Structure 1
Amino acid sequence: MNDFALHLLRHGAPETPGLLMGRTDGAPTADGVAACAAQTAGLGIEKLIASDLRRSRNAGEAIGEALGLPLIIDPRWRELDFGDWDGMASGAVEPGALGRFWTDPDTNPPPGGERWSTLVARVSAAIADLTPVPTLIVTHGGAMRAALHALCGFDQRQLWAFDLPYAALLSLRVWPGEPPSAQVAGLYP
């Protein structure tokens, strides 16, 4: 089967930046939505998907309207659920617990939150369901890292080496299969 372009776009800046926003449904800024739309010029996408959370969905709606494409909402592209920490500033979380989480988020998930392996499993399932056509997914930093892990085999330490600021565009060349594989084609902050 032929390869296809998969573009992962992190949502734009939220109205309240600096928080651990997993399931917290914070609104994006107008500038954040505009920054996302600007990243999509010339991608030649045929399919548009977004997380169901407003900070991704609103950008997806603006992009879909500009490109004349329907937006498919898929909650599997949500951010990691930070449980009891969700919506908190990272400085408000006990530093030792937060450090253990960043070092090994599967063994040390946030209290009441989601394990890294659960995020990887749901993102992997979403990837497996993709039609092999040029696709843009408006999502979150954690889901983008989970996709890199699933498609390229990057380990946890390597994943944190990727700087994924708001409105960052990660382009991949994906080869469908069991399991699918990919090559990083570009990262545009």
Structure 2
Amino acid sequence: MSEARTVHLLRHGATVRPGLLLGHLDVAITAPGIADCVRVAAGVTFTQVVSSDLSRAAACAAALGAPVRHDARWRELDFGAWDGRDPATLPADALAAFWHDPDANPPPGGERWSALVARVAAALADLPDATLAVTHGGAIRAALASACGFDARQVWAFDLPCAALLTLKLWPDTAQIVALRT
């Protein structure tokens, strides 16, 4: 069995538009949001930084003082017509169906859960040991689904507020088994 890789997944800090469904919509990050990410990242050891190409993640990554490689596969779920909307303004039945089964009930014009998991799984597989990925809540949940075999409903049990940090230890043999079940 080859060596395990340790990867750190950091959710971007607070944005200027909190409480909205922010998928591919590019919104600014707040100065306190950047500071929170810098503070949290100071507690981990990493040799490189990979970031979503959306500015709310990229700005946090840039503040860490290390070279950053941008990778669009680490973007948030594409909420389609719901992107940038307050969930309270959406049809309650459609939103409930999405939260219950995001693969069978994606947002109108948006991305299926399985597509998010597939692109994040590919991005996760490409991360070398000791990498910090600055990304989004949905992408972190998709990484958990891929690496640990959790289904869409199980990953919502994880509280991932802005600037949340998750560290995964990934063994090659385990990753291959999980990939076969996906």
Matches of 1:123 and 1:47 in 2, distance apart?
18
Matches of 2:104 and 2:44 in 1, distance apart?
38
Q: After alignment, is 155-164 or 99-108 more displaced?
A: 155-164
Matches of 2:75 and 2:152 in 1, distance apart?
19
Q: If the length of structure 2 is used for normalisation, what is the TM-score?
A: 0.93
Matches of 2:41 and 2:158 in 1, distance apart?
20
More strand by share: 1
More helix by share: 2
Per-residue deviation at 1:42? Answer: 3.4
Number of the residue aligned with 2:74: 77
Number of the residue aligned with 1:127: 124
Per-residue deviation at 1:43? Answer: 1.2
Which letter does structure 2 place at the counterpart of 1:134?
A: A
Number of the residue aligned with 1:91: 88
Per-residue deviation at 1:174? Answer: 1.0
Task: Kindly indicate whether the alpha-carbon contact (under 8 Å) linking 1:174 and 1:180 is maintained by their aligned counterparts in 2.
Answer: no
The 3 A distance-change label for structure 1 pair 114 and 59 is same
Per-residue deviation at 1:127? Answer: 1.3
Which letter does structure 2 place at the counterpart of 1:104?
A: D
Root-mean-square deviation over aligned CA pairs: 1.2
Unmatched segments (≥5 aa) in structure 2:
none
Q: If the length of structure 1 is used for normalisation, what is the TM-score?
A: 0.90
Percent identity between matched residues is: 55
Q: How many residues align?
A: 176
Per-residue deviation at 1:157? Answer: 2.0
Matches of 1:42 and 1:20 in 2, distance apart?
29
Write the deviation string for residues 76-99 of structure 1: whole angstroms up to 9, x where unpaired. Answer: 000000000000011111011000
Consecutive aligned runs of 4 or more in structure 1 exceeding 6 Å deviation = none
Number of the residue aligned with 1:14: 15
Task: Kindly indicate whether the alpha-carbon contact (under 8 Å) linking 2:51 and 2:69 is maintained by their aligned counterparts in 1.
Answer: yes
